[in-house]
Every structure is written in structure tokens, then in C-alpha cells.
Structure 1
């Protein structure tokens, strides 16, 4: 196939095929032709972080074996609660995830893996298997695919600069020299694009915090829609790359929900859309509406599903006590379970989507005399934005939970009525999100049958999530206790 000359993924350019068609033989060829000396098998552990097993390239035969068979690992060290006397599990490479590692002393090929039990079945409590089951169940029930992407916020922390000092709460899309660490953003974008992560953009965010001994400058990176399992992988890899690049510059990166008693915290807003046969069916005109500027009934059912399960979803999207301090303190952090068009105060927002005569008029006004056709995206760009998550989110579980909630919204008869009742302009009083990890655990326990249906979330897995939330529950009483919670949950996700 012809490869786009602007394709940033070096393996796609070398092999002449998209990542979905990569084979173990292709990756062996790439290692040989590029002179790589190491292969890293990577996986997401029980804490949601990226783990690594490094293999030297000893021979073509050994390389093919590693890239095909994978390896066995100690599941009891990866997943809390696993019995040590029956803990061996397999990790098997998913070839489409391969990328060239932009870091490290030795040039290496990295591949994400999936977990399997000793009998060869998918490991029930592995993150990538949970989100895969959730996505497959939704498609089986509805004939639609849920695609998603994240808006990932983070702070870069270093000593304060005297020249062009940061101005508090004035960082939104600021440019250098008033914005700090643009070079970090540029390098993150470059690495992720070359790794095959579809990106929209990166920019400075609102949060600028300055104290006597340090400055904290907030940034955001926004990705592009992908099927759920790939979307979750992309977010984990993005966090890894941000941390690596920051560290190489002598900076500390944090995704913590709250970083200070003042200023904005770090959210993780998830955009999603439903696609059937290449058509975005949440956009007006996508299924049963004619107005391309409005949300379809399917889109409203999707929102109803998210809102109906919102309190329980905090168990996956807001996993530490500072998550709930952010809810209560943040100016744009949601508390009310409601939604609106373009409204940033609700839990779900329907953002602007370009299209029709409005777009044509803007382009013509900005570029008088232009005759070039306006490019149309392959899939309508309309999404709905769930503003619940933050930097502590267990992203695979959050996306899996969203798929479960979406399926309920799509199949329940009263979803359209629920969506209408929960519009932000419907009335002034709405149900609130939980105010603590303990309340979040209670909400999940009350909805556990929903998440355990179809075997998506194993019962023992839900028990472990509940235990983790209740063990972490720690109310902050007073400024000193609050500061200690922020310190304790500084590096999350």
C-alpha cells in the first residue's frame, strides 16, 4: 500500500503497512534493518503503570521467539491479591502496538503485551482484557463501536524563573516566554507521533502556581479517537513519555488531581463517540435526526448512560482522596450530575463540532477568494465529553466502565427522558458526585451487578477496587492534613 509521505511512524514507513497488519516476522525484519539491540516487552500492571521486561537481541531465532511467544511473569508481584503459589501468568506481544523506544542507552523495539492465564485464556483481571471485554460486549449488544480519547492535564515543576515569571491562573494556551517548557511539549508530541499515538494538539493550560521555592506550570495534551483498548494504551504511553521527557530536562511531572491549596488541579476529560459502519451516530443526522448541529437521540442515550452510572464511575476515574478535594474546590471541576451543550459546569459537555455552512462561512471569511475544497473528516468529529476523571484514573477501567454505562443507556427505554431531566438548564438541583473515596466505593458496590454482567468486571476484581478505595479513604481536616494528602498522592496513575 502507498504510505503517506507525512506518516510519522518509522515502522509503518519501513514495513509499508499499517500497524494493524504488523506480524512478528515484520518486527524481526525491522530490528535487523534498523540495527536494534534490544526488545522491551511492556504491560500495564495492577497499579495502572507501565512495566518493562528487557531482552537483548541474541539471534534472529531468539528474537522471533520473544516477539511471538512472549514471556511468563510473576502475577503476584503485578496484581495485588494473587496467590504466590499459583501466580505464573503469560504476557504475549500485541504486534500492532510496536514502536521504537525514543529513550534509553540502547536502541530498542518496544511492544505492549496482553496477559493470559496458565490455561491460555485471557487473564480476567488484566486491565487490557477488562476493557476489551467491555468494548466487545457493547458492540455485540448494539452493533456500534465506542471510540474515545483523553484530554490529559499535568504540571511541570521546577525552581521559579525571575525572567518572565509565571502569572497565576493565566497559562491557558500561553506562548513562550510567558509559558514555560514549550520544548518539553514539543518533544512529547514528536515522540508520541513517532510511536503511532494519534494526537490532536498540546498547549499550556490555565494552572500557573508560583511559590517562594518553585513554580508549577500546567500543560495539556489532547489525543484523537481510537477504539477503547487502543485509547487506554495511548493514555498510559502518553503519561510515560511525559514523565521521561520531563525527567530528561530535570523537571518533575505530576498528574495529581490536586497539587496545591491554590490553583487548578489535573483533570482527565474523556471524549467519546459511537460509530456504526464508519458513521458517527451521535451526531445529528447520524441516525434519526436531520439537524447536523444537534445531538442525535443515540447521543442523548449515551449521555444518559454515563450520568446514570456517574457516581460508580468515580471508583475508576477518581481513585485518591485528593480527587474529591478537587471536586469541591475546582472552578471547572464538576459536582452536579447533569449535562449541557458547550457548558463546562456539567459533568457531561457536548462540545462544538465544525460542519455545514458555518464552517464554509468561517473559512471563506478568514481566507478571502479561496477556492480550495474544505477537507471532510472520515468520521464526523462530534463527541460527548465526560468531565469526571482526573490524573489518578485507572484509564483502562474507566474506559471499560464507560462502555458498560453506555450500553445501559442505549438499551434502557427511559434513557431519553433521563437525559432531558438531567439537562443543566432543566432545574437547579441535581444529584452530586461522591465526596470521598468511601462514598465512591459505596456507589460502585450499589451498581456492581451492572459492571459484573457479561463477565466484564470479575466479582473478585470489583472487591479489590472496593477494598483499595476504602483503605485509601482519608479525609483532610485542616491545612496540614490537606498538604499531607497532596504530598502522598503526588505521583498517581
Structure 2
């Protein structure tokens, strides 16, 4: 879509405002809104100036002038603003017009260009399954006089004893997969989310209640190319959060907001295509996978300890990545096996639907950086012919959770903490910098930001410590 077409749309659809959206290094969106009458072709060509020093992970105050350049193909109508508003995703440029190296969306675009330059494929497709919770109430605080969090949900099993209305049909601990109404009390809210997602341009495939109690849900939308899927994931989170707020609820994509029940992951389906030809399919191969697909898997599993610093970048991520909660901590691949870090879907799969599913990531990741990092690891595997079978990454076609310690002795596990993952990224980051996709500056900035978060958490007194140590 060119500028004339967008301006025509603004006029014919009576758009009152245009909202320009950017994303910081951590993955949070920010926006600036311009009256539609002030938007013209120069606006689209020259962009919107903003202060880069006010965004996490961007420039210092002494060099803070930056420009948001709209990607007009990303435009959609905002369903949550009273005045009719057109939202447009932007890329970040320096004042001299060059792309800003730390712009996450720019990094994703460089990865797609690098893929085509290698001649391995024309497109990389990604399809995330981003789980979330809808709570009715959340409170939290952290300070010198106290530290706590408190959540509640009308679905939660811990509410069956309240002296209020009829409190039957609660979701048991780990018992929330696919129940019908009235146990699934949030079907109408997810329906509304799906409607708005579709109106905004996403192709919704299905939705359902997830395993955990207290309102865990999942909505799946159709895969797309790397950068577009990252755009769609941020739009998805925006719509989920705002629909929840409309209904007096709050949505969270935290990996582990509830102690003792399943967490929320972001399983990421991936495949490579050459035009319309799928490159991951080979009939008769393991899981009907091609040699290229196996090498791609080898790259992801080989680089997984470093990769996970970008796909699971919060301290909370590692409270999900523990055995016993269907968490994919085992760095192996397998067909149809959800206890492996990489699952090969085999049910109702056509050649074009043949793909791999990396199950370890979660939605605290910046999708532009996480998807790019996965692609770069996979491409490194293809270039170096990293066969996962020869590297000891499987396949393992049994429930790994039920294996004995002796049987699991040779199976690598995901890092046990953010500190471990960051250390691995520091050691193993060259694969990310191939083709100048990531830069040393970006990786260093990411590690510094995340170590700062880690330090904050480590220095905060935990209520559990009072329980364990107060009377010693």
C-alpha cells in the first residue's frame, strides 16, 4: 500500500487520527498520535521525530533525536479509541536517514534480507501460540516495608469455599484443558478478542481454555513471514489486554504467574519456503522432515542455551522452565512429543504445513528479536550441516518426564536461570551477527539490560524467605 492509497483511506473512511507505533528493545510498544488533517505524503516519507533517550535500550540524551518511518502495509483501525484512528507500525531511523541498529523491527528485516542473500529460501514463516491468563484482580508491591503479590479469578479452584454466590464449576489445578461452559467462563471474551483480531487483519484459527486454573487461555492466529508475525503478535497482545480491561479483567503473558500450576509459553512453529515450495518436507523422512529441516533443528538445539536468553528473557521465565508442569526443558527433538523442546507436528500435516515447533519460548520475549534469533540459529545449522542426531539431540519418542535419572543423564536441559542463559549468550553470539543482522552493540545492550533486571530481583527480599528463615 502506497502513501496515496493510505491518504485516500483516511479521507474515505473519515479517519480522525493516525497513531504511529514503535517498539523498544524489551518489546513494549509506544505510540504518538497525529490529527489526520496534519498527515500528508511528507509525513509518510520523512517520518515522525521522537526522543530516543526515553525508550528502554535506545540512545542517550546527548544523541536522542530519532525518526519513526511508517510501514504503510501495517495499517489497521484501532478498535479501542473513541475517535476513529488508524494505527501504523514504524521502523526506527537515525536523523541522517539510516536504519537504527537497535531497532528490533529493523533487526527482523535484516534477518529476512540475510535469508534471501544466502539463497537458502525466500521466506521464513513463524506461527506463535501465545498463552495468557485473564485475572479478575491483581495487586503487587515491592519495597523496603513489604513485598507481595495477590491475584484472583472467578475460575480459580481456591475460591470454592467463599461464602458468596454459587461457586461450583471451578477449574481444578492443572484441569483446565478444553472444558465447556460454564466451567470455561471466558469463551465469550475470547470470541470478542477473535472478532477484533480478525477485523484488524489477523487470520484467527481457533481459541480454547488452557490447562491451568484461574483463566488461562490461548488464541491461535495464522502464520506469516518473520517480521509480519512479530507485528501481529504485538497487535494480538494489544487486543487481548484491551478486551480484558473492557470486561473488568486484566490479561498477563507472564510465564509463571501462579505457583503450583502450569505456566504460559509461546510455542513457535517455523518453516522455510522457496516461493510456494515447502523446504522442510520430505516424505518418508523422520516426521516427514527434509535434511534441511533436520539441520535447522540442529542449529536451534546447538545454540539453545544462548538462544534462550532472547526467547525466555525474564527471571520469571525460569520458574516456568522446570520439570513437572509440561514445560519443554529437554533439549531434544521428537515427533508429536510435547515433553521435547522441539516437537514435530504429525497430525493432519500436509507438505506445506510441515514444520517444527520450538516449545521453550515465552511471551516476555521481544518477538522481533526472538524470531530473528531462532532463524539465525536454524540458518547456522543449515550452513554447518548440524545434524541433531549426531549431536545427541534425539530423536526421543517417549515421555521424557517419566524416564529415570539414568535414562536422562545424557539429555541436555535448558538453562536453569536467566543468569545462565545470559552467560551462554555472551559465549555464543557469533551466529547472531552473521550478515550484520545483530550487532555487538545490540547484544551487549541486551545483556546489560537483562543483568540489571536480574540484579533487581536478586536483591529484593522474597516473602518466602520470611517463611523459611525468620525464626532461625
For structure 1, the 5+ residue unaligned runs are 1-21, 209-215, 357-378, 485-493
SS in 1 for 2:128: strand
Q: CA deviation at 1:138?
A: 2.2
Q: CA deviation at 1:27?
A: 1.3
The 8 Å contact of residues 336 and 347 in structure 1, kept in 2 or not, is answered as: yes
Correspondence for 2:360? 388
SS in 1 for 2:395: coil
Q: CA deviation at 1:51?
A: 1.1
Output the CA distance in 2 between the equivalents of 1:450 and 1:58. Answer: 46
- The structure 2 residue matched to 1:308, chosen from 297, 302, 307, is 302
Correspondence for 1:401? 373
SS in 2 for 1:92: strand
- The structure 2 residue matched to 1:77, chosen from 45, 48, 54, is 54
Correspondence for 1:143? 120
Correspondence for 1:123? 100
The 8 Å contact of residues 260 and 483 in structure 1, kept in 2 or not, is answered as: no
Correspondence for 1:371? none
Output the CA distance in 2 between the equivalents of 1:85 and 1:477. Answer: 32
When structure 1 is superposed on structure 2, of 455-464 and 415-424 the one drifting more is 415-424
Correspondence for 2:330? 336
- The structure 2 residue matched to 1:195, chosen from 190, 200, 203, is 200
Q: Show CA shifts across 1:382-410 (max 9, x none).
A: 11000111121121111010111011111
Correspondence for 1:219? 217
Q: Show CA shifts across 1:150-172 (max 9, x none).
A: 00100001142625333332221
Match status 1:445 vs 2:422? no
SS in 1 for 2:321: helix
Which TM-score applies when normalising by structure 1? 0.82
Output the CA distance in 1 between the equivalents of 2:333 and 2:388. Answer: 13
The 8 Å contact of residues 436 and 475 in structure 1, kept in 2 or not, is answered as: no
When structure 1 is superposed on structure 2, of 438-447 and 42-51 the one drifting more is 42-51
Which TM-score applies when normalising by structure 2? 0.85
Q: Aligned pair in 2 of structure 1 residues 133, 296: CA closer, same or farther (>3 Å)?
A: same
Match status 1:273 vs 2:245? no
Q: Aligned pair in 2 of structure 1 residues 477, 68: CA closer, same or farther (>3 Å)?
A: closer
- The structure 1 residue matched to 2:451, chosen from 458, 470, 478, is 470
SS in 2 for 1:43: strand
Q: Aligned pair in 2 of structure 1 residues 483, 234: CA closer, same or farther (>3 Å)?
A: farther
Match status 1:238 vs 2:236? yes
Output the CA distance in 1 between the equivalents of 2:393 and 2:35. Answer: 59
Output the CA distance in 1 between the equivalents of 2:127 and 2:196. Answer: 18
The 8 Å contact of residues 50 and 237 in structure 1, kept in 2 or not, is answered as: no
Correspondence for 2:184? 179
Output the CA distance in 1 between the equivalents of 2:340 and 2:208. Answer: 23
Output the CA distance in 1 between the equivalents of 2:464 and 2:437. Answer: 37
Output the CA distance in 2 between the equivalents of 1:224 and 1:456. Answer: 26
Q: Aligned pair in 2 of structure 1 residues 465, 28: CA closer, same or farther (>3 Å)?
A: same
Matched positions, count = 428
Q: Aligned pair in 2 of structure 1 residues 52, 258: CA closer, same or farther (>3 Å)?
A: same
Match status 1:114 vs 2:91? yes
Q: Aligned pair in 2 of structure 1 residues 182, 383: CA closer, same or farther (>3 Å)?
A: same
The 8 Å contact of residues 433 and 439 in structure 2, kept in 1 or not, is answered as: yes
Q: CA deviation at 1:355?
A: 5.3
Correspondence for 1:347? 341
Q: Aligned pair in 2 of structure 1 residues 483, 238: CA closer, same or farther (>3 Å)?
A: farther
Correspondence for 1:153? 131
SS in 2 for 1:418: coil
Q: Aligned pair in 2 of structure 1 residues 167, 355: CA closer, same or farther (>3 Å)?
A: closer
The 8 Å contact of residues 58 and 102 in structure 2, kept in 1 or not, is answered as: no
The 8 Å contact of residues 330 and 341 in structure 2, kept in 1 or not, is answered as: yes
Output the CA distance in 2 between the equivalents of 1:38 and 1:274. Answer: 38
Q: Aligned pair in 2 of structure 1 residues 64, 414: CA closer, same or farther (>3 Å)?
A: closer
Q: CA deviation at 1:480?
A: 2.5
The 8 Å contact of residues 283 and 292 in structure 1, kept in 2 or not, is answered as: no
Q: Aligned pair in 2 of structure 1 residues 160, 24: CA closer, same or farther (>3 Å)?
A: same
Q: Show CA shifts across 1:23-53 (max 9, x none).
A: 1111111111111211111111223112111
